[in-house]
A and B are shown apart, each in its own frame.
Chain A
Amino acid sequence: MLKIAGKTLLAAAVLALASPAAAQDTIKMGGLATLEGAFAAPGQDSIRGIRMALEEHKYTAGGKKIELITGSSDASPASAIRATRKLVEQDGVKVMIGPLSGSEGLAVKDYAKTQPNVTFINGTSAAQDTTLRNPAPNFFRFSTEGAQWMAGLGEYAYKVKKYRKVAVLAEDYSFPYTQVFGFLEPFCRLGGKAPVDARFWVPIGNKDYSSVIAALPDDVDAIYVALGGADAINFLSQYQQAGGELPLIAGSITVDQTVLGSKGKIRKTVIGTPSAGPISDTWDDPRWKAFVAQYKKMFAGKGGFPSPSLFAHGYYINTKAALLALDKVKGDLSDGGKKFRAALSSLKFETPTGMVSLDERRNAIADIFLTEVVEGPDGNLVNKTIKVVSQVSQTFGVPYKEFLKYGQVSRTNPPCK
């Protein structure tokens, strides 16, 4: 161990001496994702997204070679900062892509303010405040965030499904708060009810939902569920086993492919469940189909998922934006990236999921997909695209000052009495 450490120290010292001179014809790009711990699988798919964009550009942009250096966090903000600091201060990257999760994003945004000459572009982190309040001038998000992902779902539940009163079941941290906010805000504005005492916030990682299921009220039209991964599978199968009969409305990661493709007995419960998010697996559009085909070509049989996850998608879009802007400025970052960031701000480009541009706080305006779980032709469960909600902004079209009055996302926002 000592030996490894010594070698590393030596190697690092050499690197530290060598780095300023070598960077003439290459641009160092950092890619940060969760490559360890329980989020390792999404983290790997994120790196696949970066590599797809780089491959498309043959690892060159603006006439310069792009060198990708990866960093890894364990999804905690402190580790994300340490990995970012290493990439920026030690490896000397000028363009950062990442991170993956919400609280990491907030931390990286804060760190970005201390590195004004480095440009930070989001991965898939989807916390509202990363760009909404106190944004960093050098942090860009070409992927959308958790509240935006819910666009159209509240109206759909109220107008089409005719639900008037819902209960809420969600994990107890900021991402579900953001999703609940995004869903309830329009739903309640239309007249829907979701009393605060019918909102159940369970600790993340909870496996046994039987008592929560028993405590769910009977006098509601539906349950809005924002749980992710294992938690979602556990809840859905236990709900079905307990004979639960209320219809569900789902958050963006509650009925995604990882949940629908699992072995759990959830079929009866989830069919017909509406949801919304930044991608739709079955979208019948040539751009999306080409993206999926490319993903399969590169990663099928090499550890890739059957279809790109929203992590691959988000990292792809953000990397793509960086490369397009680098092309525009001919790879010139000699002014501390000023021109590059100006190019990013005014960038508007076609992605596999439609047109993307930025608002004045550098957050994406993009299309959101309203979906519903159906039984596919071969009997498996898939999300069918019901509607594409076009060009959703972070403030849902409300003026910025007005939107801030809605307050920060929390367990009780909106109150919705």
Chain B
Amino acid sequence: MPGASGKANAYPLGINPAFLLAAVFLIAYPLFASDFFTFQIGAYSLILGTIALSLTMLAGYGGMVSIAQMTVAGFAAYIMAILGTNSVGVMGLGWPWWLTAVLAILGAALLSTFIGAIAARTEGIYTIMITLAIAVAFFYFVRQNYQIFNGFTGFAGIKPPTLFGVYWRDPTPFYYLTLAIAAFFYFAVLYGARSSFGLGLQAVRDNPRRVRALGINVFLHRVVAYFYAGIIAGTAGVLLVWFNGRVSPGIVGVDMAIDILVIAVVGGMRAPIGPFLGAIAFVLLENFAIDLIDRERFNTVIGLAFLLVVLFSPDGLLGIWRRMESRIRLPRANVRWGGRANRGDWHPAGSPERT
């Protein structure tokens, strides 16, 4: 996992051995893991990680913490049920899977752009408040609307296609599907950060006023970032509805929205690997906490982990990892992670302007 600014050449062949090891592990994972671990732990972590990745991209590179990323993913999931096939008998227009999937992702991206257009007019903490309000509004809307979204009940019986003789809901194929998509977006964000758009976005994050003075359209940069984030979250939303086989308002509720924030923050927002680490930790806890502690207080555990991370390790698990690593190999680690400017203040842009 090289840093975003990529001084990765220090390793033989230009590849970090830890990265190679991780890749081999991820590809070989279904060979030794049970179906349950492949599907419910592996694939689900990758899906949640991808949704959280879209937040990491917005927050880490763009300085915009959007609570509505789960809403965007959920919207894609709903489109899959509405335009595709479901077993509920409401909507389900029966369009072919590839068309619905493309439309779902585009629809999610448009919703994300719309949210961005509202939120990006304001700055800093306003973004959290507005996206939170939008997320809740969307939740209420789908819960009350029976004509299109089938209200409280939602939709069931949404299946991925059988393609090349493979049923893509089977654990191993589904795992590889999610892995491929997650890896694609991981690299897209990693390298996109070095593109002129990515650099521009980071500049907007660090000092919007200066960027504006340079003649760059700050608002447009932000909205385009929301569009990209919408594509990531929307694609993950399609995977999510295939994973669950169903979609109902709970999926876009406040709890889930906050869970995504927890995953992104606990994992670490400094690099695109963070949200995946966070998702793995979250999914493992969600599944096995009941065997270790009293499940009743699950939210206290999650909340405490979140609070501790925010208080003591703003870079999340990633930050802990980095500190351990830098203790072992001090000089190189510093070079690798110092690439991004303004290490200390990862708060969003705009605060200097507002005070």
Contacts and interface: CB of A to CB of B under 8 A. Distances in A.
- Do A and B touch each other in the complex, judged by CB within 8 A? yes
Interface of A: 1-2, 4-5, 8-9, 11-12, 16, 35-37, 40, 44, 70-72, 74, 76-79, 81-82, 85-86, 89-90, 103, 106-107, 110, 134, 172-174, 203-204, 408, 410-411
B355 interface: no
Contact of B37 (A16, A410, A411): A16
Nearest to B299: A36
B343 to A, nearest CB: 22
Contact of A36 (B44, B292, B298, B305): B298
Given A5-B284, A8-B284, A89-B36, A76 B152 contact: no
Nearest to B277: A2
B290 A82 contact: no
B250 A36 contact: no
B245 A1 contact: no
Given A1-B317, A36-B295, A36-B296, A82 B287 contact: yes
B304 to A, nearest CB: 9
A4 B153 CA distance: 36
B142 interface: no
Interface in B261-282: 266, 280-281
A78 B246 contact: yes
A44 B305 CA distance: 25
Contacts of A90: 34, 36-37, 40, 287
Contact of A8 (B34, B36, B253, B288): B288
B207 interface: no
B152 A174 contact: yes
B5 interface: no
A103 B248 contact: yes
Interface in B163-217: none
B292 A8 contact: yes
Contacts of A1: 266, 281, 285, 305, 317
Interface of B: 34-37, 39-40, 44, 87, 89, 140, 143-144, 146, 151-154, 156-157, 244-246, 248, 250-251, 253, 255, 266, 280-281, 284-288, 290-292, 295-296, 298-299, 305, 317, 320
Contact of B295 (A16, A72, A107): A72
Nearest to B290: A72
Given A82-B40, A107-B156, A203-B144, A5 B305 contact: no
A212 to B, nearest CB: 15
A78 B299 contact: no
Contacts of B291: 8, 11
B37 A12 contact: yes
Nearest to B153: A174
A78 B251 contact: yes
Contact of B40 (A86, A172, A204, A410): A86
A2 B305 CA distance: 11
A36 B157 CA distance: 26
B339 to A, nearest CB: 24
Contacts of A74: 250, 255
A319 B54 CA distance: 44
Given A77-B250, A172-B151, A16 B34 contact: yes
A74 B302 CA distance: 14
Contacts of A107: 156, 246
Given A2-B281, A8-B288, 7 more contacts: A1-B281, A11-B291, A36-B296, A36-B298, A36-B299, A78-B251, A82-B286
